Structure 1
Amino acid sequence: MDSHGFVSPYSPNTDSDRRDMLHAIGVDSVEDLFLDIPEAYRNPPLDLPPPKSEMELLRYAEELASANFIPGEYACFLGAGAYRHYVPAIVRQLTGRSEFVTSYTPYQPEVSQGTLQTEFEFQTLCAQLTGMDVANAGMYDGATSLAEAALMAVRIQGGRRVAVLDGVSPTYLKVLETYTRSQGIDIDIVSGDGITLAEGTACLLAQQPDFYG
């Protein structure tokens, strides 16, 4: 609000509004809301190249893409989850139908019954395959699922260590390290033969199929 009492529509929270909200949640400043984030990661320096025009950026992207090869023309030994397999055309057709997938997040069941039904079927099959009582399909991907499972085990078991089989994908491991680094949780990499877990280990994390297929 300026000296004439005008409030900009692009700045909806006045200084007094912010003070009231901070007082209501018991903090002194907006910066206090980010204290859980280690200081070194709040505003890290960005080592970025100079900006490019649209045409320059397109040429740069094409230059990077020119180094790629079409896997179908070569023997593929990538591994790490990138395996040659055939996906029938009907799979893409069915999974793209609005009865199953919509652009709406499944918070309201009446709007997204198809998505919820698909997740229920998937979770049921995963529980049957693994023999576990509970399976969760609400994660973004395998890496975040691994990290969230580790944090859950630490909260429930009380230990501050997690053991990871050496067959887990290195990219999954990096995500796990990101989740645990600032929480004082230690990660032990163990081999599949004769596993010995350290005292205070909350869980043993495995991947199936693992990094080596």
Structure 2
Amino acid sequence: MPRAFLVKKPVVATAKRNWSELPDEQRAEIYVPICLGGCPPRRDPEPALGEAPASPVSPLDMTLPPRAPPGPFLHPKGKKSFGFQRMLNRHLKCHSEVKRHRCPYCGKGFNDTFDLKRHVRTHTGVRPYKCSLCDKAFTQRCSLESHLRKIHGVAQRYGYKERRAKLYVCEECGGTADSQDAHLAHLRQRHPHSPLLAKLARKAAATPAPRPAPPRPAPPTE
């Protein structure tokens, strides 16, 4: 066979291939056509018959709605429902026959310290929640809010999980404070034998003191 028919066909390496010289049908999945005015504009699918056209969604509509309480939590007997599990647990305590907290004035028992504190105020006359529109005062915040709504037409509005400003009440004289530090300073000055101060002192005595940090080694001297 003549040497003219034994010429080896050159093979173009993939890494050195010039893709701009290949036709579109040979580029396979690597080729992505770029439309320069030739592609038709994108059109949304038309709604089906009897279906209302979708309205454009603005960025303001993408905000999430406020979360609702995870309730309701039903009472075991099915008579009441509560929005939170903690409220149901607190209510179930009133059915317990064991009364852990006793009133020092009349001996009545309670299952919750909050209920005991509210009851003791009926003996001591402490009414820390005062109405700003009249001269009435109440032992509970909810009683004051109910008074404002029914008598003065003022409704207190709070957002979901928005906590009311905490009020620290002195059960000895009825004085109030906006912070715990101010409340403790009032007790130390006016009521040094307060049960709360004695409780804090016992708690501080039972807490072990923090260990001092070990001394750092001195840097080596040359």
Normalising by structure 1, report the TM-score.
Answer: 0.21
Higher helix share: 1
Higher relative contact order, structure no. (Cα contacts within 8 Å, ≥ 6 residues apart):
1
Which has more radius of gyration?
2
